[in-house]
Amino acid sequence: MPTSPSVLHLLAVPLAAFVLAGAPLARAQQAAPAWSTAAPAGVARQELYPEVLDGRIYVAGGLLSPNTGYSAHFESYDPATDRWTRRATLPQARHHVALAAQGSQLYAVGGFSGGFPNWQAQAEVYLYDPATDRWRSSVPLPQPRAEGVVAVAQGRLYAIGGRMRASPSASHFNDHADTARVEVFDPQTARWSRLADAPTARNSAASAVIGGRIYVVGGRQALPQADGSLRQVNLATLEVFDPSTATWQTRAPMPQAQGGLAAAAHGGKLYVFGGEQWTPEHKVFADSWVYDPLADRWTALPPLPTPRHGLGAATVGERIHVFGGGLQVGGNSATDRHEVLVLGPR
C-alpha cells in the first residue's frame, strides 16, 4: 500500500523537533515533595489552628514558653514577600483557638484561657475583618470548647470534638472531658445548631476540607485513671463528615497514631505533619503523610526537618507552610520555626 502524504510529512520531521516538543512536558512534570525554609514567625508559640484567607496565612493566640504563658498575638504571613505582619490583637488571650475563613472574614472560635494546668475552655467567638484590621464579637458557642477542630464547608462553620468543661466551674486541665459533639453555625441565621455526634470523641486532632467534606484525623483521648490522672492515648482514626447528608464515614487509619498534629489539603489529598505521643513513651514526631481519598490509602512523605507538635499547617498555591509548635512533649519548648513542603515546580 502506498504511503500517505501525511505519513511522509511526519517521517520528514527531524527527530529533534519531537525532542524539543516533548521538553516542556518533561519540565512540567511534578517534582517530588521536598522541604525548604521560610521566614520565622513573629512569636514562638504552639497549639495553633491557622487559616488561609486571600492568599495569606493567619495565626492567633497560642501557648508560650514556659507554658504558664499564653498569647493574644495575631499575625499574618504573606508568601509573596516571605514576611510576617502583626495584626490587631485578639480581644482575649487564648491557646488552642481555632481560625476559620468564611467569605471575606475570619472566625476565631473557643480555645482555652489560662496557663498550664489552669486551663478553662471558653465559648467566645470573635470575627475579624482584614479590611479594617478589627475584631468584633460574634455568636458564642453553645458550650465552652477547646482543642477541637473547626472547618467551613458549604458556607457553614462546623465545630467538631475537642475538650469541654466537665462542670461549669472547671478551671483545671483535668476538669475537662473529651467530646464527640458536633455543632454548626449558619452565618445567615446567626445561630448554632447541634448535629449528631462524631463517631469518636477526641482532642488534638487535625482537619481539612476536601471536595466539600471535612476530614478529621489523628488526635488523642485523655482517659481518666483511678488516681485522678489522665492517660493520653493517641489515635490513628480518620473520619469524614459529609455536610450534605450530615453523616460520617470511617476511612483507612493513619499508618501511625499521632496526636497534636497538623493537617492541610492540596490537590484533593490530605497532608498531615508531626505530633506527639505520651504513651507508651514520650515522643515528638517528624513523620508526615499524605492520604488519597480515591484510593483510601496513606503514603509517607519526607519527614519534617524539625520534629514538633502543636504546630500549624496551611496551603498556599503549590506549597504547604508548617510553622510554630513545640519541640518537646508538652509545653515549654515553643518555636518560631517555619518550614515549607514544596509540591509543585520550584
Does the N-terminal peptide bond of residue 66 adopt cis geometry, omega within 30 degrees of 0?
yes
Q: Is the predicted pLDDT of residue 125 greater than 50, yes or no?
A: yes
Pairing of the two strands 98-102 and 112-113: unpaired
Residues 34 and 26: their CA atoms lie apart, in Å, by 19
Q: Show me where the domains of the chain are located.
A: 31-342
Residues 316 and 243: their CA atoms lie apart, in Å, by 24
pLDDT digits (tens, 9 = 90+) for 144-183: 999 999 999 999 999 999 999 999 999 999 999 999 999 9
| Exposure on the CB side of residue 202, measured as CA atoms within 13 A | 25
Across all residues in the chain, what is the average pLDDT? Answer: 92
Pairing of the two strands 319-323 and 98-102: unpaired
Q: For residues 229 and 44, which has the higher predicted lDDT (pLDDT)? A: 44
Residues 30 and 90: their CA atoms lie apart, in Å, by 40
Residues 202 and 192: their CA atoms lie apart, in Å, by 21
Tell me, what's the pLDDT at 172? 95
Q: Is the predicted pLDDT of residue 104 greater than 70, yes or no?
A: yes
3-class DSSP assignment, residue 70: strand
Q: Is the predicted pLDDT of residue 329 greater than 90, yes or no?
A: yes
Type of residue numbered 73: H
| Residue whose grid cell is 455536610 | 243
Share of residues in the chain with pLDDT > 90 (%): 90
Task: Tell me the mean pLDDT in the region 98-117.
Answer: 97
C-alpha to C-alpha distances, 305 to 34, 240, 341, nearest whole angstrom: 10, 29, 10
3-class DSSP assignment, residue 35: strand
Tell me, what's the pLDDT at 345? 77
| Residue whose grid cell is 492517660 | 231
Residues 6 or more apart from 189 whose CB is under 8 A from it? none
Tell me, what's the pLDDT at 9? 42
| pLDDT classification of 344: cutoffs 50, 70, 90 | confident
Residues 302 and 297: their CA atoms lie apart, in Å, by 17
pLDDT digits (tens, 9 = 90+) for 251-269: 999 999 999 999 999 999 9
| pLDDT classification of 346: cutoffs 50, 70, 90 | low
Model confidence, pTM: 0.91
Fold of 31-342: Neuraminidase (2.120.10)
Share of residues in the chain with pLDDT > 70 (%): 91
Does the N-terminal peptide bond of residue 280 adopt cis geometry, omega within 30 degrees of 0?
yes
Q: Is the predicted pLDDT of residue 8 greater than 60, yes or no?
A: no
H/E stretch holding 12: helix 5-12
Short-list 261, 15, 224, CA closest to 238: 261
Residues 258 and 49: their CA atoms lie apart, in Å, by 16
Q: Is the predicted pLDDT of residue 12 greater than 80, yes or no?
A: no
CA torsion sign for 243, 247, 253, 259 is positive
Q: For residues 271 and 28, which has the higher predicted lDDT (pLDDT)? A: 271
Set of cell numbers at residue 146: 477547646
